[in-house]
Structure 1
Amino acid sequence: MKALLKQVTAIAALLVTGAGTATATGAPVWRDCYDGLSCTGIEVPADWDHPDGGATVTVPLLRIPARERKLGTLLVNPGGPAQSIPLFAVPGFRDQFTDLAARFDVVVFDPRGLDVTCPAPAPAPLPGPLTESAYDAYAAANAKFAADCTAAAGAARGHLGAGQVARDLDAIRTRLGESRLNYFGSSYGTVYGQEYAARFGARVGRMYLDSVLDHTRPDPAAWARAGAVTAEHNLFRLASWCAADAGCALHGRDVIAVWDRLLATPSAGLVVAWAAARIGNDRSRPELAAGLAAAEAGDTSAMTPRPAPPDARLARSALCADFPAPDGFPAAKRVEAELRAAAPRLGWAVHPWRVSGHCAGLPRTGLNPPAGLPPMPRVLVANGEDDPLTPAEHGRRVAAQLHGRYLTAAGGHALYLRGNACVRGHVHRWLWDGERPPAGTRCGSAD
């Protein structure tokens, strides 16, 4: 997915070519795009809290037509928050959605404002451990990024949170002529699904949330702890794999002892940052083991950070509207300390945007902070047990509040889109026939 996202900038212009735009009250006018698919955009109020203000934003849509016995429309968001529609120009990307289109018109939406390109890129994320000077410098750079992007963001500025997006989804439902919303959300798309369930639960047909990011727990340390502990557990799983697999570069050695020795070297920060980016994917085990073995021998060249593509989009602003980070350096440092106590070797450093200064300096406008969910049982939820980005505890917590069915699954992130056949089978039976997996069902890993 990361490799695909790097191609967005080069191909994003294809999204507009041949795409129609519906008026604020009209039905969508579809145009051909991406070799046999259809694209459009619908105009919605920029601020649903003041819809008569006149300003609007456009929500891009892409449609994959149903192949047989159409059941209606399934609205899909693959996550991010980011643009996903331009990725349909990448060969193979659409294959992830082919089975869903067996019975539904699959309509993929890109959240409002994420097609905006700011004049300059956002500052690079802060690594841990946090220092006050780095935090303050980052906050200043983040504030400048937001100020410089004011004109480019236009009416979307301050209106990027899931509370606005959920109302966009209901407008899409209405304009597609659907009495109920059938919804598939993966990763950040589950935040939009939770918000829709909270606001419009009576209008949900069937919903599937994959790799849930819990939007119900306001305490940042409690919220991030499960992911940190999962990442730490994955380090021990790496050690177990190395003990059993002769192909591991550290086979026959104590992987945890190797790790601890590396943490005592001047390269510790480099090692932790490199490993933290890979520990959530079991397919990275050979690379992880080889990198750690080389580092212990004094060679950290494989861990040297490579230049990342500039990030001049508003995804960070959207995330920070829904998950505002600790306010100020002392609060962020306290959260970091709590995570280091729970997961001292590695987990505390995984996905530092959760608790660091990621949102520091951004305007505190249009916030949609986490809150509890009312019952809305027409939902199936699945999270990977080994996923530190969206840990299983997040999915179980959301499913329990909604009174939905939770599907336990081994593996990592984005279970359906990454091809877990067991998960996909249950999802199809749920979305097509309303058949829930029996309580306690567990799917194995797709790896």
Structure 2
Amino acid sequence: MQKRKITRRARAVGVLLAGLAAASACAGPPDSPSSVTAAAVTAQAVAWQPCFDGLECGSVTVPADWRRPDDAERITIGLGRLPAQDRARRIGTLLVNPGGPNPVLFGLPRLAVQLAELRQWFDVVVFDPRGMGESSGVTCSTDPPGPLVAAPPDRAAFAQYVAAQQRFARDCALALGALAGTLDAWQVAHDMDAVRAAMGEERLDYFGNSYGTVYGQAYAELFPGNVRRMYLDSVADHTTADLYEMVAPKAEALEANLHGFAGWCGREPSCALHGQDALAVWDRVVAAAERAPIPAPGAGTSVDAPGLLGSVAARVRRERAWPELATALAAADRGDATAFAPTPPPSTPDVPGGALMGLATCADLLESIDHDRVERLAEQLRAVAPRLGWTEPWNFQARCAGLPTGTFPPRPISAPGLPPVLVVNGDDDSATPPEFGRRLVDQLPGARYLDADGGHAVYLTGNPCVREHAHHYLVTGELPPPEVTCAASGS
């Protein structure tokens, strides 16, 4: 696949920066779909070509800005198709976005394994979000800064982070061209409807995972009559603009992850803290780091309390990382925090648009965040998540500091005429906690929340019970009975 580019370059950086500023200051795009329908703009069929040894790739042409579809420049939306295994049993096309938002088509063979069962009934089609990968992917001249490594960071570190974010946004403006200010979920939902029309589908079957659920929520609100079935896994809630309501469930879930880790250590003889009170060890290590940074001789540095909190928050979410975390805490309790010292970030594939996650996600938030506001929110959360969860605003909300926000801010969803939707969130997921899914279901008449054991991306990580109910729903439209729940074992 070749990188596709926007058809015309912007004339000046100043124009683009003005566009970014205006987009971030506006109240958001119109509540209804563009006056020109996707079908009218994209009266086209996808020309599928072989790729990745047995799979298929194609593209759809769409306006760079759906707010002015008649005169906007054109971009391409890159598609990958996993053809149905038996054409006689095929019942339609299922559009999938696995989240991020990231380029995904470069990893199509791996997705083909995760989504293989769905090919019993569907042509499974995956897309890169606009500006990423094969969707007119943009390579910016400056990389975004890494995430804040401390929770909470001091004011000087936060100010440096904000300045680096602002530099990235400025330097990225020229490369974005006509895509400046158009990376939000409102625009992506219009792209999705154009894809639906180009594939010849009267209505859309959609599977959104993680951030793909934000695209699903936008599509449900904008095009409820065009939905056939919609399965949303690990919902990222886009229905509330209240910062506390947005972050508190994540903080409480992160705190529950820490308690879950302690419980596992109590049960599991292989845990390095087995036979001890793991929470007491945690409290002792944090208190020591607050008094003075803990030496990390293996890394030639030391680890202070913010660095420790940030490192543990990243690990305790994943149960498979608990053995390593227990060993690291035991060593830190003995005075060696080497395992918590900062390490270089893992290398990522050099794919166009891979750096745009922050610009895309922050466009879907209400406003930029300053140090004082995040600090106040964190202090509020100490009442419900005193050991670790209170740091969540620094891990989550502060990522948008210095970036343009607010082109499609969160709000309660209204989708009259939307068919019943199936929603699943993992009970142990602190990235997208269960309350997010339940909150969305409460606003979608006829929707069903399926309670499931597990962490993030329940379907993609292989919960057999969730897969069974998701398949039945997508094929027949029948929701699981209200009394059904899914344990990790698939019961």
Give the structure-2-normalised TM-score: 0.83
1:235-291 CA-to-partner distances (Å, cap 9, x unmatched) read 111111111111111111011100001111223223212211121222222112111
Aligned to 1:64: 82
RMSD: 2.0
What are the equivalent positions in structure 2 for 1:84-103 lying under 5 Å apart?
Answer: 84-89=104-109, 92-103=110-121
Higher alpha-carbon deviation: 378-387 or 366-375: 366-375
- Residue identity opposite 1:40 in structure 2: G
Q: Deviations over 1:22-58 (max 9, x none)?
A: 9943211111111111111211111111112231222
User: 2:449 aligned with 1:406, yes or no?
Assistant: yes
Partner of 1:303: 340
Q: Which residue of 1 aligns with 2:184?
A: 161
Q: Equivalent of 1:367, from 403, 407, 413?
A: 407
Q: Does 1:421 align with 2:443?
A: no
**Paired residues of 2:64 and 2:73 also in contact (CA < 8 A):** yes
Q: Which residue in the other structure is 1:8 paired with?
A: none
| Counterpart for residue 213 of structure 1 | 236
CA change 1:304–1:231 in 2 (3 A) is same
What is aligned with 2:61? Answer: 43
Percent identity reads 47
Q: 1:42 to 1:351 in 2, by over 3 A?
A: farther
In the alignment, which residue of structure 1 is the partner of 2:316? 279
2:226 alignment partner in structure 1? 203
1:338 aligns with 2:380: yes
Q: Confirm or deny that 1:145 pairs with 2:185.
A: no
Q: CA deviation at 1:437?
A: 0.9
Partner of 1:7: none
When structure 1 is superposed on structure 2, of 115-124 and 416-425 the one drifting more is 115-124
Question: 1:445: Cα distance to partner?
Answer: 1.8
Q: Which amino acid aligns with 1:199?
A: L
Judged with a 3 Å threshold, the aligned counterparts in structure 2 of structure 1 residues 326 and 157 are, in CA distance, closer, same or farther, namely closer
Q: Which amino acid aligns with 2:194?
A: A
Q: Distance in 1 between matches of 2:252 and 2:2?
A: 40
Residue 165 (structure 1) shift: 0.5
CA contact (8 A) 2:84 2:120 kept: yes
Taking the aligned partners of 1:29 and 1:42, their CA distance within structure 2 comes to 9
How many residues matched?
426
Provide the C-alpha distance between the structure 1 equivalents of 2:267 and 2:373, rounded to a whole number of angstroms. 42
Matched position secondary structure for 2:70? helix
SS in 1 for 2:383: helix
| Aligned-residue offset at 1:351 | 7.0
Q: What are the Cα deviations for residues 118-175 of structure 1, in whole angstroms up to 9, with x where unaligned? A: 1121012223214332222222211111111112112111100000001111111111
The answer for the alignment partner of 2:357 in structure 1 is: 315
Where 1:149 maps in the other structure, the secondary structure is: helix
User: What is the one-letter code of the residue matched to 2:91?
Assistant: L
Residues 1:443 and 2:486 aligned together: yes
User: Which residue does the alignment assign to 1:290?
Assistant: 327
- CA contact under 8 A between 1:220 and 1:326: conserved in structure 2? no
Residues of 1 paired with 2:259 and 2:45: CA distance?
A: 54
d(CA) in 2 for partners of 1:120, 1:310: 16
Does structure 2 retain, via aligned residues, the 8 Å contact 1:207–1:380? Answer: yes
Q: TM-score scaled by structure 1?
A: 0.91
1:446 shift after superposition: 5.3
Q: Supply the AA of the counterpart residue of 1:289.
A: A
- Output the CA distance in 1 between the equivalents of 2:43 and 2:310: 49
Deviation at 1:328, TM superposition (A): 2.6
CA distance, structure 1, for counterparts of residue 332 and residue 392 of structure 2:
19
**Bigger CA radius of gyration:** 2
Does residue 1:123 correspond to 2:165, yes or no?
no
Q: Is the 8 A contact 2:57 2:78 kept in 1?
A: yes
Residue aligning to 2:94: 74
* Gap runs ≥5 in structure 2: 5-38, 294-303, 349-353
Match of 1:240 in 2: 263
Against the structure 1 CA distance between its residues 284 and 118, is the aligned structure 2 distance closer, same or farther, given a 3 Å change threshold? same
Asked whether the 8 Å contact 1:335–1:355 carries over to 2, the reply is no
Q: How many angstroms apart in 2 are the aligned matches of 1:415 and 1:351?
A: 24
Single out whichever of 405-414 and 55-64 deviates more from structure 2. 55-64
Q: Report the Cα offset of residue 329 of structure 1.
A: 2.6
> What CA distance in whole angstroms lies between the structure 1 residues aligned with 2:407 and 2:483?
36
With over 3 angstroms needed to count, the CA separation of the structure-2 counterparts of 1:327 and 1:237, relative to structure 1, is closer
Contact 1:122/1:145, CA 8 A, preserved across alignment? yes
Name the CA shift for 1:343/1:113 in 2 (closer, same or farther; >3 Å): same
User: What is the match of residue 9 of structure 1?
Assistant: none
